[in-house]
Amino acid sequence: MSLADRADRHDLYQRSVQGVEFELEFVQETFKALRGRWPHRLREDFCGTALSACEWVKLNPAHSAVAVDIDAEVLAWGEDHNVAEMSVDEQQRIELLSADVLTVETNKVDICQALNFSYWLFQERAQMKAYFQRVYACLKKDGLFFLDSFGGFEAHQTQEEVRELEGFTYIWQQAEYNPVTADMQCYIHFEFEDGSRLEQAYAYRWRLWGAKEIRELLLECGFSKTRIYLQAFDPETDGPLDEFVESERCEDVACWIAYLVAEK
């Protein structure tokens, strides 16, 4: 049996793609800075294994979360691996919902987050607008919506990014890109020390949305203001830092990543 045969793709995804500790610190601190109070209730859209929602609940006994994903299989994995490890009290403060974010009804939340670009699967403007209107409705009066975005000239190219991690290699592939429609096909592959691969462990068909058009759409849906926080780079090594700075100005770099924050 090869290492790929024995691998668990959800576990590999959590270890290679997600950085929930930093993500939640950013979300929490930004909420406090903009709203003058600490947030308590969080909704994680496109939650996959609900890792972020689980970590949110573990951070503070006053926290609660609802996590939404359309795929019952990935939610079951999250229940068995992430929720199952939590205390009884923590489990009572989290709810995993197998539902479509376009129709789901949830109690009002302080924060709604849709991260790792998942919302780009909505390719048509009308569909994206319908989604943002649903998010607007689920937020408390001073609620915030957190999204992320990337761009730069490399985003408009077919290309691969390879990262060596503990025991495996993560490969992000932008396999197709149509500059007329902004339609892109991306894959995550995993490769192992014995040469075996989990080919197309995850596949994403996205529209490469521009930050400006997303921000305009958020305002159209009733959000009062949007902000963009760009990832900072180390001036000496040029490597990305765990630091996101609010700015309307970005250099013409190969690749930028940012958080978008929409205020109700």
Ligand X SMILES: C[S@@+](CC[C@H](N)C(=O)[O-])C[C@H]1O[C@@H](n2cnc3c(N)ncnc32)[C@H](O)[C@@H]1O
By CB under 6 A, name the binding residues for ligand X: 17-18, 46-48, 68-71, 74, 100-102, 115-116, 118, 121
Helices vs. strands in the chain: H and E counts, helices first? 8, 12
Contacts of 187 (CB under 8 A, 6+ apart): 172, 173, 175, 200, 201, 202, 203, 204
Task: Indicate the SS3 state at residue 90.
Answer: helix
Question: C-beta of 17: minimal distance to ligand X in Å?
Answer: 5
Question: C-beta of 98: minimal distance to ligand X in Å?
Answer: 9
Pick the closer one to ligand X by CB: 161 or 234.
Answer: 161
Contacts of 22 (CB under 8 A, 6+ apart): 242
Question: C-beta of 235: minimal distance to ligand X in Å?
Answer: 29
Distance CA(20)–CA(22), nearest Å, equals: 5
Pick the closer one to ligand X by CB: 142 or 202.
Answer: 202
Tokens of 5: 């045969």
Pick the closer one to ligand X by CB: 173 or 196.
Answer: 173
Distance CA(53)–CA(219), nearest Å, equals: 26
Pick the closer one to ligand X by CB: 67 or 211.
Answer: 67
Question: C-beta of 37: minimal distance to ligand X in Å?
Answer: 25
Closest-by-Cβ residue to ligand X is: 48
